[in-house]
Structure 1
Amino acid sequence: MLMEKTKKRQHYESIEKTCNQTILSLASTLRNSVIKENDTETIINQLRDGSANKIASWNQLKILAITRPAVIIYSYTMLATFLRIQLSLISGHMYKDAQNVDNGIIGNEVQAKYMALSSYFIYESIKILSNLIQSKVVMVTQSLSLTKQLTLRDLEQIYWALTSCISADSSTDPVKNLTYYMLQQENTENNDTSIYTKLINQMLDVSESGEVQDLMQKNVRSGFVLLMDHISVYFNDSSKNDNEHDVRDTSHSEESNVKNSTSTYLQEATNNGSSEFVNINKTTMALAKIIPIVNGQVPDNPTPNDIAADWLQHLILNNELKILGANIYEAFSCSQS
């Protein structure tokens, strides 16, 4: 009995490592899809070479820049949750098969088809998710002018309003409709082999449970808290810079402020050399100055500490997701259904 428990634990530990590696690998591809669907580089280049209407382009950049990290937070949460469920479920069945329990052997063809399910989300429905979040960002930010002075708390409230708008629509909310985004419609029809259909139906049952939805919602909120932590550094730096030079000039027109922001685009850098206390909750910046900071949280070329990389590590190390996977594995490696 003890030997059996040890063998089972070692098998699950191996599966957990495989799951982590799979999440890391697929998240890299997913990140590229998010950047492609929320392309800010084209607009930035047009602003730099003066070939675009600055006000219109900056308003479009505002939408895409705010959308980009939001899509990363939602999509990474969805991918990590789905893969935990997917791998834990099939691994439980395969362990049971190995113990010669009469449950029907999961062949290589079924395994390959089952494990390829996430490709639909990465390459196709990520477009649906991006469009959804973009539309909600438009709703939340349409009244904000580029010269509007915002505190870090104001920016945080924009993102909380965004999550509220997304969750308010229960028909499209990715937390409540995980399998809609993850599975092609044909994959949910009962026209496959009995073993494959059984795996899909079991995955649907688990993914649509209240427990999984609550965990996803909690993780999404944690993702936005992490995003604000990343951005807060720039508000701290802005306050220090403002002590030396007041960047706010209320006599300028909106177009003038946009031009100033264009010329300093991506030149914001943190300054950790000062020990002076700064209340970042009282520091304000024009929205046009915040946009490049927010956009820079998910750069086109990945960096080790950008929000995408940081959030991915949080999800991989998330203890509640690990427990979810372990519980699923245990349930399906022991069940006789």
Structure 2
Amino acid sequence: MFSSIRGFLSRHRRKFIFGSVVISSVIFLMRYTQRKLREWQENEIRMLMERTKKRQYYETTERSCDQLISRLVVTLRNSVIKENDTEVIVNQLKDGSADKIALWDQLKVLAITRPAVIIYSYTMLVTFLRIQLNLISGHMYKDTQNMSNVDNEIINSEVHERYMALSRYFIYEGIKDLSDFVQNKVSEVAASLSLTKQLTLRDLEQIYWAITSSVSADSSKDPVKNFTYYTLQYDIENGETSVYSKLRDQMLDVSESEEVQDLMQKNIRSGFVLLMDHISVYFSEPSQTNSVQNTASFSGEGSNAGNSILTKRETTNDLSEFVDVNKTTMALAKIIPIVNRQVPNNPTLNDLAEDWLQRLIFNNDLKTLGANLYEAVC
């Protein structure tokens, strides 16, 4: 019996050896596959958790950015109004000042300047904060992932506070340079405009486009090309290699990039289109146009002097008739109070500044810019 078994094994030895190799290989491959599958599943779960954590961190950053913008823009608006104060001139006109024409010329420049500065400054502040917060948030998230690396440079509270304080310079100091610059450009464009000149909405639009063109042509002061000149204070010594310096240099590089400049130009153009939409209401509704005629003199006492400046025009359009905005004309002196009221001293629900701020906060291009910066740093 044993001899027959030995004979069987001897005759089929190669088959047994081959079968053993095959079975062992199958078992090895199955175990290897199971281990790799388990590793893949664990890696996918880890990546999913990391993406979820990264997304939650980003969403928190976005909420913080929106809240910070809403807080800082209140101070920025006050700074713009302070630098382009029209209330003193309006009060002088109400009191019947002798030199009304000179006052009207000053009011013309300041009234046209104020909404223009609001559009430029709000665009600059929102763009600045999107870049600033997403850069530092990306670095802080990366720090939390590399806590075990002793060589990693952690962003401490002192660096964080110093970095976040950069925006204060623009709100309190940069806005002065910006307002003076835009005022000078408005003075150049509006110098030849008579207060009695009849303008259509398209004429007013061309005035603002002439101002933006003049601003863009000045390469040394253009707020888009010289974004960092208005928004950052140069207080770092040459050769500094601190974490703060690296963060700030990175922000400089991003702010001066062509992509950011193109995005700002696009948003600024949209801001002036919005301004024209707000003003067009007064050209499309005869009843409001007539009410402005009384407001233009700012008071009953100055009405005679005001009427000597303004060209009286009888309104023959019936309220039920269609009003062609592009053909409706209005004296510049009547338009000035309208433009001045686009950014009132006391904010209202639908004034230009508030409307423009909401559009910038929810601007998809700015959100995409911030998300790309955050992802790149992470």
**Is 2:106 the counterpart of 1:60?**
yes
Taking structure 2 as the reference length, the TM-score comes to 0.79
Which of 131, 134, 144 is equivalent to 2:180? Answer: 131
What letter corresponds to residue 35 of structure 1 in structure 2? I
Q: Are the aligned partners of 1:55 and 1:258 in contact in 2 as well (CA < 8 Å)? A: no
> Counterpart of 1:288?
333
Aligned equivalents of 2:308, 2:59: Cα separation in 1: 50
| Cα distance change of structure 1 residues 262 and 193 upon mapping to structure 2, 3 Å threshold | farther
Q: Are the aligned partners of 2:109 and 2:183 in contact in 1 as well (CA < 8 Å)? A: yes
> Counterpart of 1:259?
306
Taking structure 1 as the reference length, the TM-score comes to 0.89
> How far 1:52 sits from its partner (Å)?
4.6
Deviation string 1:275-312 (CA, Å, 9 cap, x unpaired) is 53110100000000000000000000000100000000
Deviation string 1:135-192 (CA, Å, 9 cap, x unpaired) is 00011111100000000000000000000000001111000111110111224x4465
Q: Are the aligned partners of 1:146 and 1:258 in contact in 2 as well (CA < 8 Å)? A: no
Aligned equivalents of 1:257, 1:15: Cα separation in 2: 57
Q: Are the aligned partners of 1:125 and 1:181 in contact in 2 as well (CA < 8 Å)? A: yes
| Ranges in structure 1 where 5+ consecutive residues have no aligned partner | 248-254, 264-272
What letter corresponds to residue 256 of structure 2 in structure 1? E
> Counterpart of 2:365?
320
> Counterpart of 1:278?
323
> How far 1:236 sits from its partner (Å)?
1.0
Aligned equivalents of 2:366, 2:249: Cα separation in 1: 21
Aligned equivalents of 1:241, 1:217: Cα separation in 2: 32
**Is 2:241 the counterpart of 1:196?**
no
> Counterpart of 2:124?
78
Deviation string 1:110-149 (CA, Å, 9 cap, x unpaired) is 1001001011110111110000000000111111000000
Aligned equivalents of 1:112, 1:232: Cα separation in 2: 44
Q: Are the aligned partners of 1:47 and 1:262 in contact in 2 as well (CA < 8 Å)? A: no
**Is 2:54 the counterpart of 1:5?**
no
Aligned equivalents of 1:231, 1:62: Cα separation in 2: 15
> How far 1:222 sits from its partner (Å)?
0.1
Aligned equivalents of 1:289, 1:310: Cα separation in 2: 24
What letter corresponds to residue 355 of structure 2 in structure 1? D
> Counterpart of 2:21?
none
| Cα distance change of structure 1 residues 275 and 65 upon mapping to structure 2, 3 Å threshold | same
Any idea what SS the aligned residue of 2:322 has?
coil
Instruction: Within 5 Å, give how 1:1-337 maps onto structure 2.
Output: 1-100=47-146, 102=149, 103-187=152-236, 189-190=237-238, 194-238=242-286, 259-260=306-307, 274-333=319-378
| Cα distance change of structure 1 residues 151 and 8 upon mapping to structure 2, 3 Å threshold | same
Larger Cα-atom Rg: 2
Query: Percentage identity across aligned positions?
Result: 72
| Ranges in structure 2 where 5+ consecutive residues have no aligned partner | 1-46, 295-301, 311-317
Any idea what SS the aligned residue of 1:186 has?
coil
Aligned equivalents of 1:141, 1:25: Cα separation in 2: 34
> How far 1:262 sits from its partner (Å)?
9.3
Aligned equivalents of 2:287, 2:216: Cα separation in 1: 34
What letter corresponds to residue 78 of structure 2 in structure 1? N
Aligned equivalents of 2:309, 2:239: Cα separation in 1: 55
Deviation string 1:33-63 (CA, Å, 9 cap, x unpaired) is 0000000000000000013510000000000
Aligned length: 314
What letter corresponds to residue 79 of structure 1 in structure 2? L
Aligned equivalents of 1:46, 1:256: Cα separation in 2: 13
